[in-house]
Amino acid sequence: MRKIFVMFVLIGAMIIVFRAGAAPSFSANPGYMRVPVVTIAGTASTWTSGIQSFDGDENETTYLFGQNQYIMKKEKGSSATVLYDYGSSVFGSFVKLRGDKLYFGESSTGSIKSIPTAGGTATDLFTLANNFDCAFNSQTQMFLSANPSWTGNYLYVWWQGMTDPQIIADVGDNSGPIAVDSNDNLYYGRSTAYPPGPEDIVYYTAAQVANAINTGVPLTSSDWTVYAAGVNAPGGLAFDSQATIQDLFSTSSGLGTLSRISSGLTDRMGAGSYPSCPRFFGEGRFSPFLETGGVLAVNCTDYNDSYDSTVYVVKACPQNFIIGSGDYSISGASDIAVFRPVSGLWAVRGVTRLYFGGEGDLPVAGDYDGNGTSDPSIYRPDSGLWAAKGVTRVYFGGDQDIPLPRDYDGDGTADPAIFRPAAGLWAVRGMTRVYFGTDGDFPQPDYNDGAIVLFRPSTGLWAVRDITRFYFGEPGDLPVPGDYDGDGSTDAGIYRPTSGLWAIRGVTRVYFGSGEEWDVPLPIDYLGTGSVVPAIFRPSTGLWSIRGVTRVYFGNEGDFPATR
C-alpha cells in the first residue's frame, strides 16, 4: 500500500504546476482520508481540463491524458515524458494500462490507439466516434462504451486481429462508464438525463456477453440485471481486488460524489469538484477505517473556474474519536496502545498484551465497568456488536454507523453510541436519538462537554447543537479537538495531512507530522497533566511521536492506535 502511494506523490514535479484561482477540491467522509498528489493546470478559455484520464501500475509508474493533447508517462525518480502528442487539442476520453501496452481513446475523431509502455510508435487500432470508456476482461478482450450517433449508447467488444469493434449491447441513454469484475461480468453505469440524478448500475453476465459475441445479436435493457438502483449518476466505475465478492467504486461527476457499493449498500466516501476516473491499486478490500488493502485514486477538475485537475489518493483512515479512553493502567494518562485486527491483539506498552476481537472489528476501548481503567473493546460493523472484554456484549448500530463510545450520562461508565452519516442520526443506547448533521460530517463527541457537535470538512463548519456555529478548517482537514491550553475546556482543532499542520482555534499553529506519510493524528495526554499535546502514529514504521515528550516505536502497519 505504501508503495502505491509513492507512485502518485512522485508525479508532483510533472510538467505544469498550480495556477492562481479556484483549485479542484475533494473532501473525504469520516473513515477516509484524502491526499492531493498532483495538479495539472487547465485552460478555461478553451474548455481544456488539466487531466482527462489516468492509470498506473505497482512499479510506481503513472500514465495520464493531459491537457487534451498529451499521453504522458512518469516513472519513479524520473521526469515526466510525453509518449504521444496529438499535435493539437482533442477530447481525451480514457487511458487504460494492459500488460506492456497503454490504450487510449479520444472522442474528437474517435481514434483508439495503443503504444508500448516503454515508448515507441503508436498503433492506430480502429475508429469509434464519441468513445467514452474502456475496460478489459481476463481474456484480454477490450470493451468500450460509445454513442456514435449521439442518439443512444452502445457497448462494444474488440480484440487483437479485429478490424472494427463489434456491438454487443444496445443500452440507450447517454454515454456511461463500464467496468469488468473478476468473473468477467460487464457493468454499465446508466446516464439517462441531464441534469444528473439517481441512476442504476446494471450488468450483463459473462455468459450473456459471450453469447452476444458468438451470435452477433446485441443485448438490450431487457437482458441486464440491476446491480445497484438509485445511486448518484455514475461517471466512472472501478472494482477492488477482493478474492471473492468485489466492491464497486463509482464517481458521479455531475453530483460531485465518490461512493463505494458493497453487497447492495452504498457508502459515500467523499465529495468534490467533478470527480472522475476512479482507479484501485493494490490487493484486497478497501473499506472505511480498515487499512487492510489497497488505495483508491480519483481525478477532480474545477470546471467552474480554472479547469485545473488534481489526482487525489483516498485511503482508509482510522479516526481517533472511536476510542472512549486510552488509560489502561489507572495512571490518569494516555497509554501507548494498538489493536491489531488481523490477529485480535491488544498491546498496551508497559502494561499488557491480550487477544480480543479480529479482522473487521473496530477498537472502541473505554471504561465500561466503572473501575477507572479502559477495557479492550470492539465494535463489529457487520452485526452491530459491542463487546468489552470480561464486561459486556450488546448489539447497537450497523455497518454504516460510526461508533462513539463516551460516558454520556455521567455515571462513570462508557455508553455505546453511534453516528449514522446517511441520516444524521446520533443515538446513545438506552438514552436518546437526535438528528443533527448529514453525510460527510465528522461527529465530535469530545468537544464542548458532551454536546452534540459536528465538523463539516467540505466547508470548515463546526456546529454545536443549540449553541453555536463557526468556521475553522478546509476540505481535507481532520478534526483534532482537545484541551490544548489546560484551561479545562476543549478547543476546536484541525490536522492537515498534506502539510502536517496542527491549527488549534485561538491557541496555536504548529507543524507536526509528515505531509508525505499517512500519519494518524492523536491529541493525547501522555503525561497526565490534564491537557493534550499533538501526537502522531505512523503505521508504516510503528512510530509514536509525541510533540515535546517522546518518540517510541510500538506497533506496525495494519494496527489501529488504541488511545486518545
Does 127 have pLDDT greater than 50?
Answer: yes
Range(s) of the domain holding residue 96: 2-316
Residues 452, 344, single domain; the answer is yes
Residues 87, 137, single domain; the answer is yes
Question: For 366-419, how does the pLDDT look when each residue is reduced to its tens digit (9 = 90+)?
Answer: 999 999 999 999 999 889 999 999 999 999 998 778 999 998 888 999 999 999
136-144: long-range contacts, CB 8 A cutoff, minimum separation 24: 136/96, 136/98, 136/180, 137/180, 137/184, 137/186, 137/206, 138/182, 138/184, 139/184, 140/98, 140/99, 142/98, 142/103, 143/168, 143/178, 143/180, 143/186, 144/105, 144/112, 144/178
State the average pLDDT over residues 203-226. Answer: 97
How many domains, the chain?
2
- What's the confidence (pLDDT) of residue 201? 95
Does 240 have pLDDT greater than 80?
Answer: yes
List the 362-363 sheet strands across, edge first: 362-363, 377-380, 385-388, 392-395
- What's the confidence (pLDDT) of residue 56? 86
Output DSSP code: residue 240.
Answer: -
Q: What is the CATH number of the domain that holds 528?
A: 2.130.10
Overall size of the chain counted in residues: 564
The CA-based diameter of the chain, rounded to the nearest angstrom, is 77
Is residue 126 a contact partner of residue 112, using CB atoms and an 8 Å limit?
yes
Q: Helix or strand or coil: residue 82? A: strand
State the average pLDDT over residues 190-210. Answer: 90
- What's the confidence (pLDDT) of residue 1? 33
- What's the confidence (pLDDT) of residue 14? 35
Does 37 have pLDDT greater than 80?
Answer: no
- What's the confidence (pLDDT) of residue 19? 41
Tell me the C-alpha distance between 85 and 117, whole Å.
15
Tell me the C-alpha distance between 146 and 154, whole Å.
6
When pLDDT is cut at 50, 70 and 90, the band that residue 268 belongs to is: confident
Residues 242, 113, single domain; the answer is yes
Closest by alpha carbon to 282, among 540, 560, 7? Answer: 7
Residues 189, 307, single domain; the answer is yes
Tell me the C-alpha distance between 523 and 531, whole Å.
9
Indicate the range of 70-79, 147-156, 182-191, 436-445 predicted with least confidence. 70-79
Per cent of the chain over pLDDT 90 is: 63
Residues 147, 183, single domain; the answer is yes
- What's the confidence (pLDDT) of residue 146? 96
State the average pLDDT over residues 169-173. Answer: 93
Is residue 365 a contact partner of residue 377, using CB atoms and an 8 Å limit?
yes
Is residue 37 a contact partner of residue 9, using CB atoms and an 8 Å limit?
yes
Residues 291, 331, single domain; the answer is no
Q: What is the pTM of this model?
A: 0.81
Range of 9-23, 32-46, 365-379 with top mean pLDDT = 365-379
Does 20 have pLDDT greater than 60?
Answer: no
- What's the confidence (pLDDT) of residue 449? 61
Domain boundary among 296, 316, 336: 316
Residues 303, 340, single domain; the answer is no
- Name the β-bridge partners of 545: 536, 551
- What's the confidence (pLDDT) of residue 8? 38
Residue spans of beta strands (DSSP E) within 31-110? 32-40, 51-56, 62-66, 70-74, 81-85, 92-98, 101-106
- What's the confidence (pLDDT) of residue 93? 94
Domain boundary among 316, 342, 367: 316
Residues 402, 488, single domain; the answer is yes
- Name the β-bridge partners of 428: 417, 432
Domain boundary among 316, 347, 368: 316
Indicate the range of 17-26, 137-146, 286-295 predicted with least confidence. 17-26
Tell me the C-alpha distance between 67 and 49, whole Å.
6
- What's the confidence (pLDDT) of residue 320? 67
Tell me the C-alpha distance between 379 and 171, whole Å.
43
Tell me the C-alpha distance between 195 and 18, whole Å.
30
- What's the confidence (pLDDT) of residue 5? 33
Residues 310, 409, single domain; the answer is no
When pLDDT is cut at 50, 70 and 90, the band that residue 39 belongs to is: confident
Does 74 have pLDDT greater than 90?
Answer: no
Does 300 have pLDDT greater than 50?
Answer: yes
State the average pLDDT over residues 156-182. Answer: 95
Residues 425, 279, single domain; the answer is no
Q: What is the CATH number of the domain that holds 171?
A: 2.120.10.30
List the 32-40 sheet strands across, edge first: 32-40, 309-316, 295-301, 276-281
Residues 7, 123, single domain; the answer is yes
Question: For 435-479, how does the pLDDT look when each residue is reduced to its tens digit (9 = 90+)?
Answer: 999 888 999 887 666 678 999 988 999 999 989 999 999 888 899
Is residue 394 a contact partner of residue 429, using CB atoms and an 8 Å limit?
yes
What rounded mean pLDDT belongs to the chain?
88
Tell me the C-alpha distance between 44 and 205, whole Å.
41
Tell me the C-alpha distance between 333 and 324, whole Å.
13
Query: Could you tell me the end-to-end alpha-carbon distance of the chain, in angstroms, rounded to an integer?
Result: 26
Residues 294, 442, single domain; the answer is no
